[in-house]
Chain A
Amino acid sequence: MTDQPSGRSADSLTDRVARATPGAVVQRVRGLSDTAIAWLFISPTILLLLAINIFPLIWTVYLSFTNYRANRPGRAIDWVGTRNYERLLGNEDIWGYLQATAHFVVWTMVIQVFIGLSLALLINRNFKGASFWTTVILIPMMLSPAVVGTFWTYLYQPQTGIFSYIINLFVAVGPVDMIGSVDLAPWSIIIVDTWMWTPYIMLLCLAGLRSIPEYLYEAAEIDRANTWQKFWYITLPRIMPFLMLAVLFRGIENFKMFDMVVELTSGGPGSTTEVASINLKREAFEKWRTGYSSAFAVILFVTVFGLGNIYVKALNKVKQ
């Protein structure tokens, strides 16, 4: 039985399915064209997508033009036009939260690209144990941001945490309160994000480095190019699309960053690390200004969508 050819067993399966299909269904399907059957198959998915993706999006856009408050369901909803957008885009606090987001996004990108590219160049040398170290480096990327946030909170403890202890090995500054200090708190989340996501940048850079043909370096050797020239004229242009892809992807993700920051600092001390998504959640589910927060969500969505367009363009460039 088991050594039957796969074609014969598939035929028998088809026959069995055909026999098991009720006659009424068979009659109805026979009358349909291929396109109609295809629509029949994909329509549940399309309906599901419309229900869970498109409808909430359109509803949010609608709410952004109203004064709706989700904690007062009985109250009449008034159309306020673009007032929510005007208030948001003239609000200095919102401007501050977006600057906090920018600080986080820019510094994480700069540091992660520098370390990620350096690690990729190192791993690409194929030294003994390179694959082992690649696996070790990739571990942080596989953890949940909430878990990472929680255990880094322990590492950052000023009295008992290992971070403060290591800093004091080099500079005797006493207990270092990374999360409680206004100056250090933004850097605490940058350090954790860098620890977690540098491997991702490294991985993409490594893919770029592995795609460079060896003969380019051999030709450069013949032309007596030094190491720096080989890096500047061969390596960097060749991995630039991969680097762009990594930066855009991580940039979009960090622009929306929520869970890790909530676990680490909850936006504090004060509102030093209150990035845009945390403020959005506060406006929507603590102050219950649903219309206003919907407008904020639409602004963030359009920004991410715009970045996404650039991302797709970069992706096409990589494909070419």
Chain B
Amino acid sequence: MSLQSEHRNGPSGLSRFFRRGPWENFATFLIALGIFMLMQPFSIDLFSYSFAVILTGTVGFVIVSHFPE
């Protein structure tokens, strides 16, 4: 029943929200941002928070890579 209605109305709001593509891109962006913060020569404050950003991005990537396409 729910499958049929999902076919008729498209994927539900939750499954549309938890799609792999955009979340994976966001996690990739966080990793890239963190690496930039780690190695940039401008501010030590950015450097201090870099690891937290990279860790969030990396753990996030591992989680969202299990989301459906």
Contacts and interface: CB of A to CB of B under 8 A. Distances in A.
Interface of A: 85, 89-90, 92, 95, 98-99, 101-102, 105, 299, 302-303, 305-307, 309-310, 313
A302 B48 contact: no
Contacts of B65: 309
A90 B58 CA distance: 22
B41 A310 contact: no
B44 A305 contact: no
Nearest to A312: B65
Nearest to A310: B28
Contacts of A90: 44, 48
A309 B32 CA distance: 11
Contact of B51 (A101, A299, A310): A299
B35 A307 contact: yes
Contacts of A309: 27-28, 31, 58, 61-62, 65
16 contacts: A85-B51, A89-B50, A90-B44, A90-B48, A95-B44, A95-B47, A102-B41, A299-B51, A302-B51, A303-B34, A306-B54, A306-B61, A307-B35, A309-B27, A310-B28, A310-B31
Contacts of B34: 303, 306
A209 to B, nearest CB: 27
A302 B58 contact: yes
Nearest to A95: B47
B47 A89 contact: yes
Contacts of B35: 303, 306-307
Contact of A102 (B27, B39, B51): B39
Q: Which of B24, B28, B57, B58 has the most CB of A within 10 A?
A: B58
B31 A307 contact: yes
Nearest to A98: B39
Contacts of A105: 39
A232 B10 CA distance: 39
Interface in B15-35: 24, 27-28, 31-32, 34-35
Contacts of B61: 306, 309
B48 A310 contact: no
Contacts of A99: 39-41
B25 to A, nearest CB: 9
Nearest to B65: A309
B35 to A, nearest CB: 6
Contacts of A307: 31, 35
A305 B58 contact: yes
A302 B55 contact: yes
A302 B44 contact: no
A85 B38 CA distance: 13
A102 B44 CA distance: 15
Nearest to B32: A310
Contacts of A98: 38-39, 47
Given A313-B24, A313-B28, A89 B48 contact: yes
Q: Which of A105, A299, A303 has the most CB of B within 10 A?
A: A303
A306 B34 CA distance: 10
